[in-house]
Amino acid sequence: MLKTLRTSTLAILVCSTPSWVLGADFDGSKPLLCATIDAHFCGLGEVCYRTVPAVLGAPQFIRINFAKKAVIGSQRTTEIRHMEPSEGQLLLQGTELGYGWSIALDTKTGSMSTTLVNREDVFVLFGACTPS
């Protein structure tokens, strides 16, 4: 009887764990490995088109190192200049090669949306992250 009670109590505690505890992997406390999956490109006065990230020169994988405030790709590393946590997401921003970029990271699922923008072009990437 006591063993059954302990098992039931443990099951209740695990099942009632708040979602913010389960989503702690994506709150900026752990480094992440992210894969780019889908990409879109829009040029000034042109129709936007959808493609795979490699066609646009985007890295297949990026690492986000929150402790070093850096986004690390296969060819370059860029500084995270601004981080803003909010309900359900973590926003990261910076600049690189004349583009402003933003990453919106879903703190529950690890999915990400990324934009790179300048006065002539917009790149939009979608992907998913996992703790590394």
Q: What are the pLDDT digits (tens) for 85-126? A: 999 999 999 999 999 999 999 999 999 999 999 999 999 999
Confirm whether 43 is domain-assigned. yes
The whole domain housing 87 covers 24-131
User: Is the residue at 40 inside a domain?
Assistant: yes
Give the CATH number for residue 33.
2.40.128
Would 19 be classed as within a structural domain? no
Q: State how many domains the chain has.
A: 1
Distance of alpha carbon 40 from alpha carbon 61, whole angstroms:
17
Could you tell me the two tokens for 54?
A: 């490699």
Q: What per-residue confidence (pLDDT) applies to 59? A: 92
Q: Is residue 14 part of a domain?
A: no
User: What's the pTM?
Assistant: 0.79
pLDDT at position 96 is 93
Give the Å distances, CA to CA, from 109 to 3, 16, 126, 130.
34, 18, 13, 9
